[in-house]
Chains A and B, each alone.
Chain A
Amino acid sequence: MSILEVQGVNKRFGGLAALDDVNLSVRENTIHAIIGPNGAGKSTLLNCLVGKLIPDSGTVTFGGRSLIGLKPYEINQLGVSRVFQTPEVFSDLTILENLMIPALASRDGAFKLSPFKYLGKEADIRYQSERILEDVGLIDQRHLLASSMSRGNKRRLEMAMCLVQSPKLLLLDEPTAGMSRADTNNTIELLRTISEAHNITFVVIEHDMHVVFSLADRISVLSQGHVIVEDDPQNIKGHPKVQEAYLGTVESEG
């Protein structure tokens, strides 16, 4: 059963076709990786899924609902969370507050005017946030400002912020970009634990083949704006088209 369907999506920037008739079908409760060389359109595709960009044509449906034209917060309210390439957290707020915001967003919706209700009285939200912080191992630092964290921990925090919303679909934009091998392995471990513990579908955009092949159930290879192959990991590895896209031929390289 597919939870996310992308059909015939096109997106042009001036004369450049960033996405050219892209099709993608993500099955529920799987980890679906999107790989491809630089400039293949991976980020553009992700931006079309979260409402940052509107495709010129084509359809994007999530759980049977079209996402075209919806704002990022509306898409999040439907159950789609995202992790950025460089972690985006609320640096001036404490780690616990960073978790309480998404928790409140899931409970109260996109806007709720309750200017006089003490935050201290939101015991449920706090409990929920602290439980997730325990899971990702940040509970001891919960009263520190997020700006004081290392980049690796910020990534963890951002992941926790998505998890506290119990999303149906979690989009990750190069979750291990710029990480050391050890941190990368920790992240892989974290993602695996999460996908086993929660019923979350993952779409992972990734550069690092090691990450992709240790995580993904299914892989789409994007090159020059279109999906050249969509298959299981074992079939992707030796696929001639994939090798061509990554290594190129002598002519196209020049």
Chain B
Amino acid sequence: MLAKLLNNKDTMLVIVFSLVVLAAPLLLAPLGAGYPDLMQRFAIFGIFAIGFNILFGLTGYLSFGHAAFLGVGSYSAVWMFKLLSVNIVPAILLSVLISGLFALVIGYVSLKRSGIYFSILTLAFAQMSFNLAYSVLTPITNGETGLQLALDDPRVLDGASTEGVLPSPQLFGLEMNDTAQVPFLGMELQFNVGFYICALILIAAFFISLRIFRSSFGMMLRAVKSNQTRLNYTGINTKPYTLAAFVISGMYAGLAGGLMASMDPLAGAERMQWTASGEVVLMTIMGGAGSLLGPVLGAAIIKYFENIFSRINDNVIEAWFTFLPDWLGDILVTLISPFVGKGWHLSLGLIFMLVVIFLPGGLVEGAQRVSRWTVRSVKRLQHSEPGSSKSLEPGETH
């Protein structure tokens, strides 16, 4: 039974994925990224990108307004903290629910068009939400200051806090910012409650996305991307399929927004800006749209660049080259410095261009090519046998 389960490629994929995610503090510490705040962001944006990929990767509908759902999720969660309880469970449930409803309305209207017009409609809705959050909706969003916890919040279930300290979000007593620090091989590993909650949800989100990819529903979504005309003349009403994909991905975004607010109980309108929507598009394309692992990989790389690469300044680079003669070190520092620190966007942009031009299937395709090349080389060494052409089981994506 266990052997059969382990033979299944998908089960293996989920197991390996879970192990890697759960071991993140250990794996990321050598890269300088093993601190809770960043690891939480990896997981949260991973969830956001997985959800976005269900819409964009499968159906090919490119939404430029998904940050709106992220923002709505965050606001809902913070309101739940304020009104009901600082327990994250009701907050996250409400985030998913509200953003799902939001996605239903926006999706229903936007999906009346396809292609660039769909993208523009979603962008317009998101910018509208962003601007409303700053103006008319200030009573709900608290405008520019952003929505945050206050001492006089009702918090019906917890009872109003009287100690004069703001409570922090928790899961039945486990506070999100609790961190156990473990020294290991000269590094300080940080095991953080918030990160592990995000990680478990990320694993669940990944599993759900895998099931969607492998279902007949997922196949219909891929058919929408492949040939919508054929699908219509095959007796399939494409509207509800695309709308369902839109709502599911909106709920993923809301979940990510709710988690974001759970890690740091603050919601601001800038979370809904178009740049945030663009970011998730970049993540998905960079990692590999339509692939299972791609979006998570893309999210991790972009967040890594944003947080780690951007901190490398001239002094850090100089420290790398102290073993070289001064003049050579100076040249290298001059060459490298435009690409790091404040120039991290430049390197990210270059990588993005390279990926789009040479690896249209994203970094996942790159990894697949390398592994296929390795397998082929090994085979060629063993016996000179021609490789069979690629064949796929139904529901399997490449």
Contact = CB atoms under 8 A, between A and B. Distances in A.
B233 A119 contact: no
Contact of B222 (A93, A143, A144): A93
A93 B235 contact: no
Which of A109, A120, A122 has most B Cβ within 10 Å? Answer: A120
A115 B219 CA distance: 10
A58 B129 CA distance: 48
Interface in B214-245: 214-220, 222-223, 225-227, 229-238, 240-241, 244
Contacts of A165: 234-235
Contacts of A145: 390, 392
A92 B226 contact: yes
Given A111-B240, A115-B212, A89 B230 contact: yes
Given A114-B217, A116-B215, A88 B236 contact: no
Interface residues of A, number: 45
Interface residues of B toward A: which range?
A: 35 or more
A5 to B, nearest CB: 21
Given A90-B227, A91-B227, A93-B223, A114 B216 contact: yes
Contacts of B389: 144, 148
Given A115-B211, A144-B389, A100 B394 contact: yes
Which of A76, A92, A115 has most B Cβ within 10 Å? Answer: A115
A116 B212 contact: yes
A81 interface: yes
A122 B218 CA distance: 14
Contacts of B393: 120, 143
Nearest to A161: B234
A19 to B, nearest CB: 20
A76 B233 contact: yes
A102 B222 contact: no
Contact of A122 (B216, B226, B231, B235): B216
B215 A81 contact: no
Given A100-B219, A116-B211, A94 B230 contact: no
Contacts of B394: 94, 96-97, 100, 119-120, 126
Interface string A115-131: 11111101000100000
6 contacts: A73-B233, A90-B231, A97-B394, A114-B215, A117-B215, A119-B214
Name the 8 nearest CB pairs between A and B, nearest first.
A143-B391, A119-B395, A76-B235, A110-B237, A105-B235, A90-B226, A88-B230, A92-B226
Interface of B: 208, 211-212, 214-220, 222-223, 225-227, 229-238, 240-241, 244, 248, 389-395
